[in-house]
Structure 1
Amino acid sequence: MDEDSILGTGWNFPVSFDNLNHRTVMVSGIEDVKQSIYIILHTTPGERIMEPEFGCNLKQLVFENIDESLHSKLNHVVYHALLNYEPRVKFIGTEILEKVEAAGILHISIEFSLIITNTRHNLVFPFYFKEGTNI
């Protein structure tokens, strides 16, 4: 069995369509997992009417001072969101890679392992920490 069949297949995010076959573009394997994590982190609890607790409450961290306290809070919020809504991964930790003050962006590395294959992966998530940015 290959990793793609073990991890599943889902719609590409954002949803797009193949013009040749007139079908929804699908993703499989680790790309499906990473896109799922992005959806979880970008969704604020309460946005989905049928599943009001789904998501990650990163917006509560906007305007926080960028220090060890923020890093601890990031770990806590992301850990619980992935624990509750992405059963294919085990959260390892976050690391603040870069702060772009002018744009109001923190680049956060999220490290996780796939439970079924025990392989480590990471993705870089842009966290907008200033008012008027795109969180």
Structure 2
Amino acid sequence: MANEKAFLGKGWSFPPVFDKFEKEVVMLEAEESVRSSISLLLSTELGERVMQPAFGWKRDRWLFESLSTSSATAIEKEIETALLMYEPRVNLNEVRVLPDAMESGKISIRVDYTVRSTNKRNNLVFPFYLTEK
């Protein structure tokens, strides 16, 4: 179990949270760290990070686009590429765009993945608003 945690890592939460009693940064470990990392990647516009300009995906490109089958597929492919490049701790099972509330300008992006070191399947549903920035 200790080896699994070492592989999955330990890192700061984002945005950083500070424990006022311990007077230190709250750290995320293991699968919680992986989930946070995927969420951060999905929240980041390509080029937004100065020191890692290739981190993220072309999120803002889709803000004012109408959702069609081809645009949903393109979004899925962009996210798959970003996750394959920047999240080596998981095997990606599926990325799916779910047009939950298209009328309100919201889609959900479901990421199904398996954590490599534990072989546990997980999923994350990320809300993405097409009409707001």
* TM-score bin (small chain): 0.7 to 0.9
Which residues of 2 match residues 55-66 of structure 1 at below 5 A? 55-66=56-67
CA deviation after TM superposition for structure 1 residue 80, in Å:
0.6
How many pairs does the alignment contain?
A: 131
Which residues of 2 match residues 15-30 of structure 1 at below 5 A? 15-30=16-31
Which residues of 2 match residues 23-102 of structure 1 at below 5 A? 23-95=24-96, 96=98, 98-99=100-101, 101-102=103-104
Identity %: 37
Give the RMSD, CA atoms, in angstroms.
1.7
List runs of 5+ in structure 2 lacking aligned partners.
none
* TM-score, with length taken from structure 2: 0.87
Letter in 2 for 1:101: E
CA deviation after TM superposition for structure 1 residue 100, in Å:
5.2
Q: Single out whichever of 109-118 and 22-31 deviates more from structure 2.
A: 109-118
d(CA) in 1 for partners of 2:90 and 2:121? Answer: 9
**Counterpart contact for 1:97–1:109, Cα < 8 Å:** no
d(CA) in 2 for partners of 1:7 and 1:86? Answer: 10
List runs of 5+ in structure 1 lacking aligned partners.
none
Could you give the per-residue CA deviations for residues 66-94 of structure 1, whole angstroms, max 9, x where no partner exists? 23212211220111100111111122222
Letter in 1 for 2:46: P
d(CA) in 2 for partners of 1:65 and 1:24? Answer: 41
- Counterparts in 2 of 1:51 and 1:84: CA distance versus 1, 3 Å: same
d(CA) in 2 for partners of 1:18 and 1:116? Answer: 29
d(CA) in 2 for partners of 1:122 and 1:59? Answer: 23
Secondary structure in 2 matching 1:101: helix
* TM-score, with length taken from structure 1: 0.86
Letter in 2 for 1:9: K
